[in-house]
Amino acid sequence: MSHSQTEENYLKAIYQLSQSHPDGVTTKSISQRLNIKAPTVSDMLKRLSAKKLIRHARYKGVTLTQKGTKVALTVIRKHRLWETFLVEKFKFKWDEVHDIAEQLEHIQSPVLVNRLDEYLGFPPFDPHGDPIPTKEGLINSRYEKTLDQITEGSSVEIVSVRDHSSKFLQYLESLSIQIGTRVKVVRRIDYDHSVVIETDDQMEKSLSHRVCANLFVK
Amino acid sequence: MSHSQTEENYLKAIYQLSQSHPDGVTTKSISQRLNIKAPTVSDMLKRLSAKKLIRHARYKGVTLTQKGTKVALTVIRKHRLWETFLVEKFKFKWDEVHDIAEQLEHIQSPVLVNRLDEYLGFPPFDPHGDPIPTKEGLINSRYEKTLDQITEGSSVEIVSVRDHSSKFLQYLESLSIQIGTRVKVVRRIDYDHSVVIETDDQMEKSLSHRVCANLFVK
DNA sequence: TATAAAAATTAGTATAACCTAATTTCGAAG
DNA sequence: CTTCGAAATTAGGTTATACTAATTTTTATA
Ligand SMILES: [Mn+2]
Ligand SMILES: [Mn+2]
Ligand SMILES: [Mn+2]
Ligand SMILES: [Mn+2]
């Protein structure tokens, strides 16, 4: 039994939303994430439930079943492997690959995915620093801390980004910030929660709270 | 304006059928090729016609417009480039790539296709010997002659296969026949139109008429 | 605790892409 | 030139996936 692209997109969205809401994902949040109206989501949840891919009690949040989780992780695995492929082999920028990977993640061929993985040398992370689930469905947990939570004076490394939009990624490039960049928190501004950082090149830069909250660090 | 995968499949089928029926492709032939019932095809032809992708006079055959031809050639280009990629880079056998390429041919991203083309070194032919349309939509015409039309004593080279099925391609492998193989027609058997050939390795092999009709030569 | 706002669901509709059954049109054979 | 079988189309139905409007349920607030 295979699943439609639409179903896969719902499962992936539910998986990702459940990372911050393990006790149940709301219809509204899925609706916003996928840009689909709530009644349509309600409908789909009924179908996914009938297929035993999610658990759903009416008017309550949803959680993925083991079966649903496996599908979601497979889709995420493919998305991140393809993104890595596009950057490593086809010389795309990290802000150009997401939309293409949104399509490639639905290609059905387990053997293709594994050849891709092998061709790339079994990469543990994608170009945005996100962990790539293994063939067995294992995924490293992501670092939880974001740059806005770091105390003054500490030095940290950027390990991944929360926002994958071109806009954000291009802005980071203009600041010379990428995955692996070390930054020192020079000052935290109380007024607007912005942060002044210093990068390797000794330059001081000011980052808004919004930007910092989208940068995972270790 | 983009087209659905379904529409692309129809356009590709019409293009390929029109190679042997330039004056118009029938509803029935499309129906058989795509394994879809004739009324469904009729329906779709109306929609493709409304989009100016085909010309269609009721109860007459269809032809592609320039616009439709362009879409078809783009899909074929992607199909053949991906097949080449899978064989060259991922070490798939030539009989394993068609079904995966049927999916990959629908990925929408002109820049991806051109990077793929570049990555492969702008190959003129796919693993089955079929010509790959260029970015500009140009396609080499295929050799017309098949092995069953060759006179006794002549020596020819296999340039492409008509049938892309695993069954057929695997049978060819078992005979050590591939694209580029030179064969000499030793004898033509009148009784069943089968042909006895001799390959580089001095071995004599008997090929049925059906097999010969699926082997293009030069 | 009563009520209002928000969230979720149900009801009813649309479109793409499929189907079967019925009808129309074409083209070949007599 | 009529007639009949094949091909094509129309009619009417289904499913997946969307939508808006109406209704129900939950939750938050007074
Ligand atoms: Mn992405
Ligand atoms: Mn990513
Ligand atoms: Mn093919
Ligand atoms: Mn091919």
Q: Name every residue whose Cβ is closer than 8 Å to that of residue B72 and which is 6 or more positions away in sequence.
A: B11, B12, B14, B15, B64
pLDDT of B142 > 80? The answer is no
Which of helix, strand or coil describes residue B147?
helix
Using the CB atoms, write b or e for A167-198: b if 16+ within 10 Å.
ebbeebeebebebebebbbeebeeeeebbebb
Minimum-distance ligand to the CA of A101? 1
- Given this model, what pLDDT does residue B39 score? 98
Span B134-148, average pLDDT:
89
Q: Which amino acid is at B114?
A: N
C1' nearest to CA of B60: which nucleotide? D8
- Give the helix/strand (H/E) hosting A181: none
Query: B187-190: long-range contacts at Cβ-Cβ below 8 A with a sequence spacing of 24 or more?
Result: B187/B152, B188/B151, B188/B152
Spatial contact of B217 and B160, defined as CB atoms under 8 Å apart: no
- Given this model, what pLDDT does residue B67 score? 97
pLDDT digits (tens, 9 = 90+) for A97-140: 999 999 999 999 999 999 999 999 999 999 999 999 999 999 88
**CB-based burial of residue A201 (10 Å sphere; 0-12 exposed, 13-18 middle, 19+ buried)?**
exposed
- Given this model, what pLDDT does residue B200 score? 85
Q: How far is the CA of B59 from the C1' of D9 (A)?
A: 8
Q: Which amino acid is at A62?
A: V
pLDDT digits (tens, 9 = 90+) for A21-63: 999 999 999 999 999 999 999 999 999 999 999 999 999 999 9
Q: Which of residues 59-78 of A touch strand C (CB under 7 A)?
A: 59-61
**Mean pLDDT score of chain B, rounded to an integer?**
95
- Given this model, what pLDDT does residue B179 score? 94
- Given this model, what pLDDT does residue B34 score? 98
Chain D nucleotides reached by a protein CB under 7 Å: 7-12, 16-22, 25-26
pLDDT digits (tens, 9 = 90+) for B73-105: 999 999 999 999 999 999 999 999 999 999 999
Span A168-177, average pLDDT:
92
Contact A99 B89 (CB under 8 A): no
Counted across chains A and B, CB pairs separated by less than 8 A come out at 32
Q: How far is the CA of B59 from the C1' of D2 (A)?
A: 21
Q: Which of residues 41-80 of A touch strand D (CB under 7 A)?
A: 43-44, 47, 59
pLDDT of B191 > 80? The answer is yes
Contact B107 A108 (CB under 8 A): no
Contact A103 B109 (CB under 8 A): yes
Residue A166 contacts B, CB cutoff 8 Å: no
Structure tokens at B174: 């078992």
Residue from A87, A97, A107 to probe the interface with B (highest B Cβ count within 10 Å)? A107
pLDDT digits (tens, 9 = 90+) for A190-199: 999 999 999 9
